[in-house]
Every structure is written in C-alpha cells, then in structure tokens.
Structure 1
C-alpha cells in the first residue's frame, strides 16, 4: 500500500477572481490570497477599526491630490497574492483604479494595523511586501503602542527598520515634503 499524504491546493489570482465571481465565499468572509493560499483573517475589532479610520482621515487630508488613499482594498502582488492591507497610499491614476487592482508599482505606502496579527504582519506579510518591492511598509503596532517603519526593500526584507513612538515624526519616503506626527495616527 502506498501512503497518501494530504496536499495543499495553491491557487493563483485568476482562479481566486473566478471563485469570487462565482460567489463561493460568503460576502462577510474576510479572506486574503497570500502566496497561493486562501487565508481567513481575524475579525476587525473596534480598536483596530478606529485606528484605520484615524489613518484614513489624517493621511487623506495630508496627501490631498498627491496620492489616492485606499482602505482595506486589494493590491495585486504577482500571480499568487492579493492581500487587502488596512491602508494604502497609491500613485494618482485618472480612473482611481476602477479598471484594475493596483499592483506593487502603484504603492507609495502600505500600512497594516496590528494587534492579534502582529507576528504574521512582521513575518509573512513583511517578506511578501519586501519581495514585491513595496517601498514603505508601516505596522501600527497596537500591542506596544508604536509605529514600525520599514523601508528599502531588498531580497525579501527591508534594510531600513525603525520603531517610533508618539513623540516622533517622520516624512514619507515618496513624498518627503509631507511630515507625519506619529501621535496623529496612534
């Protein structure tokens, strides 16, 4: 008798979209496609949601006309990943990305708000974003009440890593004239 082991079925973006169009997943499902795997994401709590709202309000006003804010919408990363980050700043595009999902080249800033997903955001998502050359990745760390900033992607990691507190401020790498007070988003 030959031993048979369970095998994962990895999917790609095209199959993922067909499943969505076919209504395979309930509308309230919070799913992401990460490196070919369909992952169930944690429910969004009120503290998490409030921080996403704060990011959206502050960064939308700060970048008005220089970037398109996107809240919990997909970004296509290669053929096997389509995460839905908590917040994105995207390069201006006349159709506001109504004819396609943005890809890595469109991203100015990608932000994950983390409490229960901190380890996943620091490991798997960090590698995913760095390997697709997302230029600036922030983790709003609700556990330690700080902002983790990752820049200069190279070989699946970020060369520049810093941890900022409410007393700090920073400039966006792609829009250096814009200064962000960390207290305004924490």
Structure 2
C-alpha cells in the first residue's frame, strides 16, 4: 500500500486561515505541508527585536522590516522568517504578502528548530525565484 500525503497550496492555506481553522496554532506552510512552529523563547524574542530595531535604525524608510510575518515564496510555501527586509510597497501588501522579488534579506534565529531551518526552510528559500536572499542562523537563540 502506498501512502500519499496531501499537499496544500497557498490558496488552501489562506482559506484555512480565513475560516479560523488555524487560529490556535502557530504554523507556517513549507513545501505544501503545514508545519508547527515552536513557542518563541525569551532569548529568541530579544535577539529578533534587537536585530529588527537595528535594521530599522540603519536602513530607515528605504525598506520595510517585517518580524515573523509571512512571505509568499511559491504556490506551496509561505514561511514566516524572524526578520525579512523587503521593498516598502505600502498598500500593495494589503492584497498579498511580499513575493520573492520584493525581498532583500531574510534572517532566521534558531536553536530548537535548527534542523528544520537548515534542512527544510533553507531549501524553500533557495528554490524560490528571488533576487538574492541570505539565510543566517544564530544557534542558541532560544527557538
């Protein structure tokens, strides 16, 4: 007997979010799979906040700094990196999350999710049609 896993699209995922099915879960869509995200530890939260604040101070209004917000990278992946530096497109993001062509830089902090980040998320980021995305892992950051 062959077992086939159902793959979800970004549209499927958005319908689940809109219907409230995922309200009590901290998840992201990676390669068609809905993946649970571990709770954010204190060190992780502190490092993400300090990093984002530093980038805002450094880059000003030339970019938008998004913390833990979705990016639509393909029809089957909508990860939520810790920090994303994207084009400041104002109201356009009311209609959709940033696409690969809107992204300048991604930052991931990791500890307990290190294997997922290095194996799954790194591949999701690498296979997206992007201009240039850097992937940073800070081991020991508490998530």
Q: State the TM-score, normalizing by the size of structure 2.
A: 0.90
In structure 2, relative to structure 1, the CA distance for the partners of 1:113 and 1:96 (3 Å cut) is: farther
Which position in structure 2 is the counterpart of 1:47?
A: 43
Which position in structure 1 is the counterpart of 2:7?
A: 10
More helix by share: 2
Q: Which protein has the larger Cα radius of gyration, Structure 1 or Structure 2?
A: 1
More strand by share: 1
Return the offset for 1:25. 1.7
Structure 1 unmatched ranges of 5 or more: 146-186
SS in 2 for 1:138: coil
SS in 1 for 2:118: helix
Q: Is the 8 A contact 1:36 1:81 kept in 2?
A: yes
Please provide the CA RMSD for this pair.
1.6
Cα distance in structure 2, aligned partners of 1:96 and 1:55 = 25
Which position in structure 2 is the counterpart of 1:22?
A: 19
Structure 2 unmatched ranges of 5 or more: none
Return the offset for 1:32. 0.6
Work out which structure has the larger RCO, using CA pairs closer than 8 Å and 6 or more positions apart in sequence: 2
Which position in structure 2 is the counterpart of 1:35?
A: 31
Q: State the TM-score, normalizing by the size of structure 1.
A: 0.70
Cα distance in structure 2, aligned partners of 1:13 and 1:96 = 18
